[in-house]
Amino acid sequence: MKIYIDGLFYKGSGIGRYYESLMKEFSKQDIKIYTCVPKRLKKDFEKDFEGYLQSIIPIFVDYEKFSYKNFIRSRKILKKLENKVDLFFYPHINLPLYIPHNTITTIHDLRFFSEWWDRDILKKEIFGFFLRRAVTKSKKIIAISHVTKEDLLRHNPGIDNKIKVIYEFIDDKFITSLKPDKLLIEENYFLFVGNRKKHKNLKNLILAFNQIKDQTNYKLVIAGRKDINDDKDEVEELIDKLNMENYIIQFTDLSDENLINLYSYAKLFVFPSFYEGFGLPPLEAIACGCPAITSNIPVLEEILGNKIACFDPYSIKDIAEKSLFLLTNEGERENLLKVGKQKLEFFDKQRVTHEYLTTFKEIREK
């Protein structure tokens, strides 16, 4: 089989990790992969995919995701590839002007349509435009959870036969890496990993920690990119307002090596999101030996079960009480980790890869 996988989101946070993991797994199969990647990332790409390039043919382009050049100029490359590949796989909805036959698109979430989208209306309209094109033009749509599928059907009734739910899986680096010898942080801490967008609910997590900080010897570690580089964001302003600078440690630029270190030595991972399309960080934490608790929103209950997805994200009191109980009960943390380890088995990469390949073959043979 020969396929094209769009790589313009390579090195992006969520979609970039999704792309990288699938590329490596597909390249182990009997598949030749063509992929377009921004030229500025050529060295990174060749380093990350060293050992996989016998199956991967990168095409380094002078345009980026979300660019006018990509929307218009990718046509020439795609037209040439139509005679070489069996299908075109986009790990995102940002399809170009020219959409080849046998296109498959992954839809991760519909957060732009949720109440937690706090950006300008123009971006929401642009997302709606690309979503409609993806739904209309794609031969198949991959949804990464049943909750995402249900959201899609609410906005696009009648496309049930187009949608295939395939869960994400955890990258090997979080499963096979040995626990680092040297701690990145010497103190006891619990951990949040993710960006700082409103739907991640960092505000309530910080307010909850403020209620319990004097009852434990723990610090809160926040690891994830800021939307702004130089100025203080809302999270930092809240930390200043509550005088919690000595209780909270922040990482805004983190390598995978250091992320694994943080997961490996955290006593607890807390994920308080109001909205998610899937929720990979809790699974990564569990894979590194860190017990996790999350908000009880439907998608996290679907992925993790209600023992882990256990608190009301709107209740500061509930977040505080559940976190304090686990931070002060080692035995309960051990039990919670056992529950999490059992969940990991369901997101086995061989099973997930098999579902993708089966779907690809079905599309090729139609």
Are 23 and 140 in a shared domain?
yes
Six token digits for residue 59: 């095409």
What letter would DSSP give residue 359? H
Judgement on whether residues 190 and 139 belong to the same structural domain of the protein: no
Q: Give the per-residue pLDDT at 252.
A: 87
Residues 183 and 162 in one domain: no
Give me the pLDDT at residue 117, please.
57
104 closest CA partner among 47, 181, 160, 163: 163
User: What is the reported pLDDT for 228?
Assistant: 64
Are the C-beta atoms of 7 and 37 separated by less than 8 Å?
A: yes
The predicted structure's pLDDT at residue 128: 85
Both 203 and 70 in a single domain? no
Q: Which residue segment(s) compose the domain that 115 sits in?
A: 2-169+348-365
Q: What percent of the chain has pLDDT over 70?
A: 97
pLDDT above 80: residue 115: no
Q: How far apart are CA 152 and CA 160, in angstroms?
A: 9
> Distance between CA atoms of 293 and 25, rounded to whole angstroms?
29
Instruction: Give the model confidence (pLDDT) of 2-23 as tens digits.
Output: 999 999 999 987 899 899 999 9
pTM assigned to the model: 0.90
**Number of folded domains that form the chain:** 2
Cβ atoms within 10 Å, residue 40: 11
Dihedral (CA of 221, 148, 306, 356) sign? negative
129, 205: one domain = no
153 lies in the same domain as 283: no
Considering the domain architecture, whether residues 227 and 155 belong to the same structural domain is answered as: no
Q: Does the pLDDT at position 237 exceed 90?
A: yes
- Tell me the C-alpha distance between 258 and 243, whole Å: 27
**Whether residues 162 and 217 fall in one domain:** no
Chain position carrying tokens 């960092």: 202
Distance of CA 176 to the CA centre of its chain: 19
Measure CA of the first residue to CA of the last residue in the chain; give whole Å.
14
280-299 pLDDT per residue, tens: 999 999 999 999 999 999 99
221 & 147 share domain: no
Nearest partner of 289 among 178, 195, 171, judged by Cα: 178
Amino acid at 339: V
Mean pLDDT, rounded, of the chain: 92
* 3-state percent helix, strand, coil for the chain, nearest multiple of 5: 45, 15, 35
Q: Residues 23, 49: contact at Cβ < 8 Å?
A: yes
Dist. CA 296–CA 305, nearest whole Å: 9
Say whether both 14 and 61 belong to one domain. Answer: yes
Report d(CA 348, CA 350) in Å as an integer: 6
CATH of the domain at 66: 3.40.50.2000
Phi, psi (rounded to 5 degrees) for 87? -160, 165
pLDDT at 119 over 90: no
By the 8 A CB rule, do 117 and 101 touch?
A: no
The pLDDT, as a whole number, for residue 168 is: 92
Same domain, residue pair 198 and 298 = yes
256 plus 288 within the same structural domain: yes
